[in-house]
Amino acid sequence: MSNINSTAVIGVIGAGTMGAGIAQVAAKAGHPVLLYDAFEGAAQRGVEGVAKGLSKLVQRGKMQQSDVDALLSRITVTDSLDGFAPARVVIEVIVERLDIKQSVFAQLEEICTDDTILATNTSSISVTAIGSKLKRPHNLVGMHFFNPAPIMKLVEVISGLDTDKAVADAIYDLSASWGKSPVRAKSTPGFIVNRVARPFYAEGLRVLQEGAADEASIDAIVREAGGFRMGPFELMDLIGHDVNFAVTSSVFAAFFNDQRFLPSLIQQELVSAGHLGRKSGKGFYDYSEQAETPTIKTEAPAPAPRNVTIEGNLGVAEPLVALIEAAGIKVSRIQEGFGAILIGDTTLQLTNGQMTTYRADIARSSNLIQFDLALDYTKATRIALAPADQASPAAVLKAIGLFQAIGKNVTVIDDVAGMVVMRTVAMLANEGYDAVNQQVCSESDVDVAMKGGVNYPFGPIEWAKSVGLERIMNVLDNLAKSYGEDRYRTSPLIRRKVAGAKS
């Protein structure tokens, strides 16, 4: 399979937002582009939409009008599939129905040359299943863009069971030549992004379901401590609960009801009520004009402690020590210990995946308070605390005052295993490692996909390594013990890597 040069004709079937965006990307790279849509006038409207979007870039000084004119001149509308005869690659961006995709590709096989690459932008249908009805299934490959295609860097290159490796390589190289960040994956449910991202929503929903905190406070913790651009609830509202719930349900069913992908009853209720998020005016949040801004639970000012003792090494939370010292609080250290901040009779520890109440009972330390993971403790503007049920109000105030003294807003949540950011990151990493373990993709592709496809601040696998894989494994094991559910089973690959590092 030869490389696809910039003069090769690219065909795009489907002229909606995604299809028109892909046509724009290909045309910008210099390709002649053929655009078709089964609905009369839709392809022309797609071109007009591209032109309108580019004109805004001209107005902002980000493109020259001459470059826009040249780009648009390379897009030609065709009124039938027959027009794709000269195409070197044809990308399908149509309705997510297996039978329709199979029918379109079967027609293209009769129109195009024997070595024309047929690419599907499907986000949920098996590439293998689409190719099963084709004469040349080796020419079919997944080329999954993310919306908006001209902006989002990620392209998942999906190989079905019969996809020729040379075909997948050609599409990978083509995507890279278009300025994208391609990743390779096997045709499995959810591919990389839609599979690995499930815990981001699921763990937030579980924390909400258990009453540990409200939606706005969970979103704030995920943004301000976890470094994500949006929290799970505001993101689900943006995506639309009908869409998000359907994807989760599809992945759950495709994995034969694996509990790791179990849909949420809370989200099902929203869908049943028609509360679909921004597009319906109401989801987890109210988007009507008269709606009040949701209140984030933030603790009132508390006195800062004069001195603290650091017991052992805090691991990923070690940067807190320098912040405490910079706040003028006297710090003494004890080298031995399991990693704790002591304020008199109060003990603060990074969550280990256990409920604080249970951990305190085991340690015989009533005034135990766990704090949540942060992407970067020096930059985080909020921290979550979870006191044990046995902890005194005075102990809780000491913990609040310490974190406020180092410049953090503090949200105290009810005791829940793994808290918010830690359990989310641990489960994202677990799913990423499981995808690698099942030969779906590489470790680096997991991280590239999640940063490029859904704008995560850090790849789940590299994040897990920075926290410490043994700590992540312990968090997962403790979550599994707390819930007694297969949902939290630790990936065998994580266990293997932890054991290998020890030996």
CA-based max dimension of the chain? 79
Between strands 330-334 and 117-120, the pairing is unpaired
Per-residue pLDDT band for 1 (boundaries 50, 70, 90) equals low
User: 138 an active-site residue?
Assistant: no
Cross-strand partners of 410: 383
Residue 322: the pLDDT is 97
Please report, as a single letter, which amino acid is at residue 299. E
Buried (b) or exposed (e) across 210-233, using 16+ Cβ within 10 A? eebbbbbbbbbbbbbbbbbebbbb
- Identified catalytic residue from 92, 109, 156, 215: 156
- Identified catalytic residue from 144, 215, 224, 311: 144
What whole-number distance in Å separates Cα of residue 50 and Cα of residue 183? 26
First and final CA of the chain: distance in angstroms? 44
- CA-based nearest residue to 427, from 188, 198, 206: 198
What whole-number distance in Å separates Cα of residue 129 and Cα of residue 45? 32
Q: Report pLDDT digits (tens) over 212-241.
A: 999 999 999 999 999 999 999 999 999 999
Q: Report pLDDT digits (tens) over 416-466.
A: 999 999 999 999 999 999 999 999 999 999 999 999 999 999 999 999 999
Q: Does the pLDDT of residue 311 top 90, yes or no?
A: yes
| Residue 131, H or E segment | helix 127-131
> Omega into 148 within 30° of 0, i.e. cis?
yes
User: 272 an active-site residue?
Assistant: no
CB hemisphere CA count around 382 (13 angstroms): 22
28-32 long-range contacts, CB within 8 A, separation 24+ = 28/71, 28/150, 28/178, 29/177, 29/178, 29/179, 30/6, 30/74, 31/6, 31/7, 31/74, 32/7, 32/74, 32/76
Residue 2: the pLDDT is 59
Cross-strand partners of 118: 90, 140
The two three-digit tokens of residue 155, written as one number: 């392209």
- Identified catalytic residue from 123, 175, 217, 491: 123
Q: Does the pLDDT of residue 23 top 90, yes or no?
A: yes
Measure the CA dihedral 388/226/276/413, to 10°: 10
> Omega into 32 within 30° of 0, i.e. cis?
no
H-helix segments, 302-454: 319-326, 356-363, 393-405, 421-437, 443-454
Are 168 and 138 spatial neighbours (Cβ–Cβ below 8 Å)?
no
- Identified catalytic residue from 159, 175, 194, 491: 194
What whole-number distance in Å separates Cα of residue 70 and Cα of residue 493? 50
Q: Report pLDDT digits (tens) over 50-67.
A: 999 999 999 999 999 999
Residue 337: the pLDDT is 85
* Angle, CA of 462, 214 and 353, to the nearest 5°: 40
* Angle, CA of 245, 247 and 251, to the nearest 5°: 115
Per-residue pLDDT band for 502 (boundaries 50, 70, 90) equals confident
Q: Write down the mean pLDDT value for the chain.
A: 96
Q: Is 184 left (phi over 0), alpha (psi -120 to 50) or beta?
A: beta
Tokens 């599809």 belong to which residue?
Answer: 250
* Angle, CA of 248, 250 and 252, to the nearest 5°: 70
pLDDT mean over 155-165: 98
Q: What percent of the chain has pLDDT over 90?
A: 97
User: 123 an active-site residue?
Assistant: yes
Are 137 and 160 spatial neighbours (Cβ–Cβ below 8 Å)?
yes
What whole-number distance in Å separates Cα of residue 136 and Cα of residue 30? 28
The single-letter DSSP state of residue 277 is B
Residue 470: the pLDDT is 97
pLDDT mean over 159-187: 97
User: 109 an active-site residue?
Assistant: no
Q: Does the pLDDT of residue 354 top 60, yes or no?
A: yes
For the chain, list the domains and their CATH numbers: 10-187 (3.40.50.720), 195-280 (1.10.1040.50), 307-412 (3.30.750.190)
